[in-house]
Amino acid sequence: MQPPFKIYNTLTRKKEVFKPINPPLVGMYVCGPTVYNYVHLGNVRTFTGFDILYRYLLHLGYKVRYVRNITDVGHLVDDADDGEDKIGKKAKLDNLEPMEVVQKYTNDFHDVMNILNNKAPSIEPSATGHMIEQIKMIEDLLEKGFAYETNGSVYFDVRKYSESHEYGKLSGRNIDELLSGQRELDGQDEKRENIDFALWKKATKGHIMRWPSPWSDGFPGWHLECSVMGQKYLGKTFDIHGGGMDLKFPHHECEVAQGTACNDVEPVNYWMHANMLTVNGQKMSKSLNNSILPNELFSGNNPLLDQAYSPMTLRFAFMQAHYRSTMDISNEALKAASKGYRKMINGLRLVKGLSYSEDSAIEKDAKLNKQILSIIDSVYRGMNDDLNTAVAIAGLFNLLKKINGIHLGQIKIPALEKEVFDKMVNTYISFVEDVLGFIEEKPQNLESAIEIVLQDYKEAKEAKDYDKVDLIRGQLKVMGISVKDMKDRIEWAYDEQ
């Protein structure tokens, strides 16, 4: 028997059986990228991790509303509460409109998600598209007494909130330490406490990203957008909220506070955090200058890489590590992943070519049937144990041993019960394609393959073996390629007939 689907909840620090509020619907929110630069492999790891969760929930039969936002305003340099907007800064640097920056890097993000076969979310809202809702939530927080205005900016009152609620419970921080461990406010500061965070900031003179509000021409705080969009599309309390581990504090801690203060309910039931991709043990980050970009990986054009690696190799490498563990990117891991991925896809090609047959002369092998069912169970056990993809893949490789056995004639298909055979085939295909999201990367060097065939064609022509000549011509035509006999050479072109 398979155990139920359990996920690790950052909020309770426990693996918990997943129970949606309103099954079969599942509401899932993942913090999307701040689109001021190309996404790096670290960002990609986190989004791929949540793609697996999304896919597995669908596989389990849930209907998932998956919201992943685009942060296009409010995320300030150094994740601070003062200073330049990351997008505004980039726009000035590159002499672009802020929304041009947003579009450029959103396009890049989408391209990368597609090439890795990550599914698009159900809704992809942006912060700038929800200004009215953000202003409304600030008004609610002011009215409830959890926020205050100073000089046209509005801040969340953490001390006030912590009188009735537990600020710090998500990230495991102690409110007294947070309140006492801060620098002295110098009287110039607009905040009452250093850990208070901005809900609305009045724009300074040079700040280009600004909107009108009841308090000032300004812009919303970074933490607000996710509370607002999560609530708008998934409700005041929804099932799952995810993001990278580095967002746990302050971003998600602030979201918990905003949602709770506003609605007096827990905003999220399961908080999930994906761990960091590292380079030589250090977090991959734009600011540390150790980023590897997807295109650099696919072309091999980065000093840290020995060679190019394909998108599916990267996907396989991600799945060899658990999403809550850090993962160090290395040539060794990628080379092993490349082999693993090919083995898995060879299995897929084999299994798709199998069909069931009965033979009264061959007895059913009860032990083998039982073994196969138990391997299938192990695949689910892996996924049900907080998405342990490495265990699930090990299970699939065990299944592959049986599939190879059939291919080599060591296992006779009629020795399997039809139900077991179908389950084996369906599990392998659905896990590889639907749950883990692998696609077959076809060989790129089609042109060299055609040249080899044309060499054969030329030799057949010289030997006047016209049957073979016609055969090659016919087969290439089926593939959409026509052979052209020129005076002094043989060429090919795409068939136009």
**Under the rule (CB under 6 A), what is the footprint of ligand AMP?**
31, 33-34, 42-43, 45-46, 243-244, 246-247, 276-277, 283-285
Element spanning 380, H or E:
helix 366-384
CA 88 to CA 96: how far, in whole Å? 9
Token pair 């030997």 in the structure block, residue: 463
Name the minimum Å distance from CB 135 to ligand AMP: 23
DSSP 275: P
- If 0-12 CB within 10 Å is exposed, 13-18 middle and 19+ buried, where does residue 22 land? exposed
Give the residue with the Cβ less far from Zn ion, 77 or 373.
77
Interaction partner, residue 55 (ligand AMP, Zn ion, none; CB < 5-8 Å by kind): none
Name the minimum Å distance from CB 103 to ligand AMP: 16
Residue 274 contacts Zn ion per CB under 5 A: no
CA 141 to CA 156: how far, in whole Å? 8
Q: CA torsion, points 135, 138, 143, 146, in degrees to nearest 10?
A: 180
Interaction partner, residue 226 (Zn ion, ligand AMP, none; CB < 5-8 Å by kind): Zn ion
Residue 151 backbone zone (phi > 0: left; psi -120 to 50: alpha; other: beta)? left
Interaction partner, residue 276 (Zn ion, ligand AMP, none; CB < 5-8 Å by kind): ligand AMP
Name the minimum Å distance from CB 194 to ligand AMP: 23
Give the residue with the Cβ less far from Zn ion, 127 or 141.
127
Name the minimum Å distance from CB 105 to ligand AMP: 9
Give the residue with the Cβ less far from ligand AMP, 182 or 287.
287
Residue 127 contacts Zn ion per CB under 5 A: no
Element spanning 243, H or E:
strand 238-244
- If 0-12 CB within 10 Å is exposed, 13-18 middle and 19+ buried, where does residue 174 land? exposed
CA 429 to CA 408: how far, in whole Å? 20
Residue 31 contacts Zn ion per CB under 5 A: yes
Name the minimum Å distance from CB 228 to ligand AMP: 17
Residue 226 contacts Zn ion per CB under 5 A: yes
Give the residue with the Cβ less far from Zn ion, 35 or 226.
226
Interaction partner, residue 327 (Zn ion, ligand AMP, none; CB < 5-8 Å by kind): none
Element spanning 57, H or E:
helix 41-59
Residue 329 contacts Zn ion per CB under 5 A: no
Report yes or no: 237 and 267 within 8 Å, Cβ to Cβ.
yes
Report yes or no: 204 and 190 within 8 Å, Cβ to Cβ.
no
Residue nearest to ligand AMP (CB): 244
Residue 28 contacts Zn ion per CB under 5 A: no
| Residues in touch with Zn ion (CB under 5 A) | 31, 226
